[in-house]
Amino acid sequence: MFPKKPADVLKMIKDNKIEIVDFRFLDFIGMWQHFSVPAKEVDASKFDEGLGFDGSSIRGWQSINASDMLVIPDATTARIDPFLSIPTVALICDIVDPITREPYSRDPRNIAKKANAYLKSSGVGDTVYFGPELEFFILDDVRYDQTANSGYYFIDSVEGIWNSGADENPNLGYKPRHKEGYFPTPPADSYQDMRSEMVLTLESLGISIEAHHHEVATAGQAEIDMRYAPLVQMGDQMMWYKYVCRNVAKRYNKTVTFMPKPLFDDNGSGMHVHQSIWKKNKPLFAGKGYAGMSDLAMHYIGGILKHAPTICAFSNPITNSYRRLVPGFEAPVNLAYSARNRSAAVRIPMYSPSPKAKRLECRFPDPSCNGYLAFSAMLMAGLDGIEKKLDPGDPLDKDIYSLGPEELADIPSVPGSLEDALKELEGDHEFLLKGDVFTEDVIETWIDYKMENEVNPIKLRPVPYEFMLYFDV
């Protein structure tokens, strides 16, 4: 159904009377970039020779004196864009140096490919599957600004409980209360059709969907779950996922945000990531240990828990991520594992006894992340745990909220801020360098970019609630 080689793409262009070919790639931070050419300009040579662009204009990439880069389209990723009025084929691309023809070390897709290659070279397995559950908000109005003498944000949703008294001519009620959005039927869930359209659009692109539903928060919080897929493919699918959700919402004159904590006093948006390693079509995480897991799986969990503070620099990569990861609430901040406890950083789903379904669920990531980097960091941490036979300790099956201070003191937690996570990355990243998956340059550039463009600018700006607390000091 979908292309496998350049000739298939050229046939797709011809058969569907495609007029434009769109070349897409991910910048270092995690935003899809693109440029387009007339379809008549695309021939088989483009898949070998690539197309040039200015890498100095991409966040976190080349300096101005070494700006030339090439995109090399991956024929297997060709899809007809479901939103553009002019027939357009979109191709996901890899980035290479135009002189050496070497894959670019700061290209997130290249990092994911190297992580996958390292898994195979390790002999542990040949395939790692990821199944992220992205949550997001569907909103009606978003306004924000920051000046020298003012700063504010305002978001609104027709579903927001704060609109229960609004004059909507008429107001029909049915506003999910805070933390009660999981998951009533329509009319309280007013976005069923919109989410279904998102699902059907994703499926038309070859992305298998398992379920969709309203999430816990008021104001249109949603979740659509993709079926698990190999690492690089899931990185590609995550970019299509965000693109589809945003553009379907726009058809309804709505907007979507994957920012994890846009609302105060309600649940934030997480991205639980299911993962498992297979070898020769055999699942390696099933065994006779705790919750039906193998020793290899437990060592993988040990690696995730040990390196979780470092992983957070990629899986929870924005300052807003840590408005969600706050101890004492329902966020999965506790660096422990459990078969049932959803406040643990790692959970072992118990829905099915099938060995093929045996997996772990990493619960602290959020959907603001660059999937290629976050998945790669988790895999490298897990493989480090397997290599060193790390013990994840005892499971945390107790109710965390009933534990006393002494018991809680023995349970480590995720970092409390992006700055703390970046410090952890600075001090603990040797496991990421194996197989040249991440490089020292990638680590340093990530830390520098995040500190200069996000952490420090946030530090410099007062926030509205500080006036509530301190104006009269």
Query: Residues with catalytic annotation?
Result: 54, 133, 135, 215, 223, 272, 342, 361, 363
Q: What angle do CA 14, 19, 25 make, to 5 degrees?
A: 100
In angstroms, the CA 168 to CA 142 distance is 18
Backbone angles phi, psi at 321, to 5 degrees: -55, -30
Tokens, residue 314: 């990629």
3-state secondary structure at position 177: coil
Tokens, residue 392: 């994840």
Taking each helix axis from N to C end, the angle separating 231-251 and 192-204, rounded to the nearest 10 degrees, works out to 140
Q: Are 201 and 251 in contact (CB under 8 A)?
A: no
Q: How far is CA 383 from the centre of its chain?
A: 20
- CA 49, 50, 56, 61 dihedral sign is negative
Q: Are 294 and 282 in contact (CB under 8 A)?
A: no
Cβ-based neighbour number of residue 226 at 10 Å: 22
Closest CA to 89 of 17, 7, 197: 17
Q: Are 112 and 375 in contact (CB under 8 A)?
A: yes
What single letter denotes the amino acid at residue 56?
Answer: S
In angstroms, the CA 376 to CA 78 distance is 23
Backbone angles phi, psi at 246, to 5 degrees: -65, -40
Cβ-based neighbour number of residue 78 at 10 Å: 22
Tokens, residue 140: 């009606």
Closest CA to 270 of 279, 278, 259, 281: 259
Q: How far is CA 379 from the centre of its chain?
A: 14
Q: How many CA atoms lie less than 13 Å away from 158 in the CB half-sphere?
A: 15
In angstroms, the CA 400 to CA 392 distance is 18
- Whose tokens are 């909103």? That residue is 139
